Amino acid sequence: MTAAHRPQSPSRRFAVLLLSVALTILAGASNAQWPDRPITMVVPYAAGGGVDNIARIVMPPLAKELGQSIVISNKPGANANIGSSFVASAPPDGYTFLVGATFLAANRALMAGLNYDSLTDLAPVSRLGQSPALLVTSSRLPIYSVRDLVEYGNAHPTETSYASVGVAALNPLIFVRNTGIRAVPVLYKGGGQALPDLIAGRVTFMLTPVSEVLPTVEGGSLRALAVTGVDRLKALASVPTMAEQGIADLTSVIWWGVFSPKDLPEAINVQLAAALDQVLRKPEVIESLSALSIEAAPLSGARFADFYRSEIKFYADTAKAFNLKPD
């Protein structure tokens, strides 16, 4: 009997069977369709703020687009670093993502001792939207312009404060530095948490995404003093830009985007970005974002990666220019 026709021993036949089963399992895993279970989108702020607002507009239609449920998980704290760190250390399997924003670039420039690097530990997937920031104060205070605010702060230095979502909120720091206003920061985990104190006048002013305060401004409880960016808002056409009131270096806008842990498979990144692109072009999504003065602004692939790197550099350069040391 030749070696080719020699019967296999029982132990050898069992080993061959195990190998066949293992290869079948691996083949099935490699061909599995993503997503095949619920996806978690981490919002690193409390409910009710700008990041949470945009997530709750975009994620329901995205779930329909992907054919899988999406869970929004709020993980506030440490100026969004608790939630961001959680995602940075999560497995890159396509089931945990971060709804990030401008804070990723600002925190990296202005906060020391972070246990993750927002440039190297997070992978950009898609930009969602962008919006200017609005300078607001309580309608109960006798403040009607930026000049009024500065004069009020300098006349009441022990009573003047501003709401800040973390010490690395760069726009308020630039505003305080460029105007010379005497005011102290009051830190909040999210913009929504600052509103009751702001409306009551316990906090004097806040520079925050338009989406967080537009309904309150339109309702009359808050007064809008100025807007960042180069153009006035259509929804608040009478409110001047910072530049129109002589405040330099406040033309930047706030943006939001989806990020994954590093090393996410490229195929998943591309598939999710394509689904988000479809969602952000839906008229009902555009309308819902526009109602909050957020412009749907899908951007993905190399273009979003380049944009993200440019934001990282902008905030690093700005922090250096204003001698704002990591704290």
Nearest to 43 by CA among 259, 269, 293, 271: 259
- CB of 58 within 8 A of CB of 39? no
128 is written with which tokens? 């969602």
pLDDT digits (tens, 9 = 90+) for 222-272: 999 999 988 888 889 999 999 999 887 777 788 999 999 999 999 999 999
- Beta bridge partners, 259, equal 98, 124
Q: Which residues of the chain have pLDDT under 70?
A: 1-32, 166-169, 327
pLDDT at position 99 is: 98
For tokens 């259509």, the residue is 234
Q: Are 207 and 135 in contact (CB under 8 A)?
A: yes
Assign 136 to helix, strand or coil.
Answer: strand
- Work out the number of other CB atoms within 10 angstroms of the CB of residue 205: 28
What's the count of helices (H) and strands (E) in the chain, helices before strands? 11, 11
Using an 8 Å Cβ cutoff, are 85 and 76 in contact? no
Helix axes 191-200, 210-219, angle to 10 degrees: 30
> What are the structural domains, with CATH classification, of the chain?
39-130+254-321 (3.40.190.150), 133-245 (3.40.190.10)
pLDDT of residue 293: 82
Task: Determine the pLDDT at residue 253.
Answer: 82
Amino acid found at 213 = V
Q: What is the pTM of this model?
A: 0.72
Dihedral angle sign, alpha carbons of residues 90, 94, 99, 102: positive
Handedness of CA 241, 246, 251, 253 (dihedral sign): negative
Instruction: Say how far apart CA 81 and CA 107 lie, in whole Å.
Output: 8
